[in-house]
Amino acid sequence: MTIKIPPSEIVIRPPVEAYSVLVPVTGGCSWNKCEFCGTYKGMYGIIQDYAIRPLKDVLSDIDSFAEKNYHGYPVFLAGGNPTSAPTDYLVKIIKYVRIHLKNVPRISCYAKALDILRKSDEELKKLSDAGLDIVYMGLESGSSIILRLMKKGTNAASMIEAGHKILNAGIDLSLYILLGLGGKKYSQEHVKETARVLTEINPTIFRFRTLNILPGTPLWEKWKTEEFKLLSPLECLKEERDIIANLGENVTSEVYNDHISNYCSLESANIQEDREKFIATLNSYINDPRIQSLPRKNLTRM
């Protein structure tokens, strides 16, 4: 049975925010059309419509955390894309966190490129000055072809522009890359264009995820009819290796494989310095007979 839940209920957060104070700001996702995503469409047995919570409710939650002595923790402003909310509303929340929760090392949230492009440089600077440290944004692929097929609602040029706007405002940027998103047909396109866009942006961080097609998503039906063909674990590792190999020399990003969907756990504090070691390690996995015959995880929950 699928139930509808209010925006005060948190559905997902990044793995890196596992021990953070989670403050619900928005519910659902203002876009909610991506072919591969069912987060707010019943995938977890729930539906959550897009909504911006009343400011007084958000501030009350922060007061409650302060009363319970949740000081010294990172704070994650939850919801599919809180950056869709008005800037002044977000500034009030961020400043309130900084005042009422002591020694907060990081304030973060999810963001969509569409939200960022709708905000002026001055608005983004206001968020930075208030104390927003980092946003997590789904690039997924640098290919405009794949982004269009997956109904991401943006293209490579928009992703690059949004990335630059975030970084220029003084906010750190963590991008998600979805290995296998082009399927077998567009795998090389995915590799080449993703490396190009990462090179253009040079984000603070980028993180690999591996595509698992989840029941209830539009992509599930395309997979079942073989319109979309999934990559094997070996092919996903090759995509990751080739993306790293095709990065420009300017890219100094941190790189992580910090998700249950991945087939390796490699990380780097600076891929410019670690690129050759990173590639060599991936090659060792790719040449391992155990990896070559490894079955897909086929996760149905993320």
Judge whether residue 297 has pLDDT over 90: no
In this prediction, residues 147-160 reach a mean pLDDT of 97
Q: What are the C-alpha distances in Å from 292 to residues 227, 228, 232, 237, 259?
A: 24, 22, 9, 10, 21
Judge whether residue 294 has pLDDT over 70: yes
Q: What is the pLDDT of residue 24?
A: 98
- Tens digit of pLDDT for each residue in 27-67? 999 999 999 998 998 877 889 999 999 999 999 999 999 99
Q: Which of 185, 299, 196, 177 shows the shortest CA–CA distance to 240?
A: 177
State how far the Cα of 97 lies from the Cα of 110, in Å rounded to an integer. Answer: 17
- Tens digit of pLDDT for each residue in 71-111? 999 999 999 999 999 999 999 999 999 999 999 999 999 99
pLDDT over 70 percentage in the chain:
99
Q: What is the pLDDT of residue 302?
A: 63
* Mean pLDDT for the chain overall: 96
The residue ranges of every structural domain in the chain are 7-132, 135-295
CB 28 within 8 A of CB 49: yes
In this prediction, residues 178-189 reach a mean pLDDT of 98
Task: Give pTM, 2 decimals.
Answer: 0.96
Q: Round the CA-based radius of gyration of the chain to a whole number and report it.
A: 19
pLDDT band for position 199 (cuts 50, 70, 90):
very high
State how far the Cα of 129 lies from the Cα of 162, in Å rounded to an integer. Answer: 18
Do the domains 7-132 and 135-295 sit in the same CATH topology, yes or no? yes
Q: Which of 184, 180, 162 shows the shortest CA–CA distance to 111?
A: 162
State how far the Cα of 28 lies from the Cα of 50, in Å rounded to an integer. Answer: 4
State how far the Cα of 245 lies from the Cα of 220, in Å rounded to an integer. Answer: 31
Class assignment of domain 135-295? alpha beta
Residue appearing with tokens 């997590």: 136
- Fold classification of 7-132 is Transcription Regulator spoIIAA (3.30.750)
How big is the chain, counted in residues?
302
Burial 256-275 (b: 16+ CB within 10 A, else e): bbebebbbbebbbeebeebb
- Tens digit of pLDDT for each residue in 249-278? 999 999 999 999 999 999 999 999 999 999
CB 231 within 8 A of CB 282: no
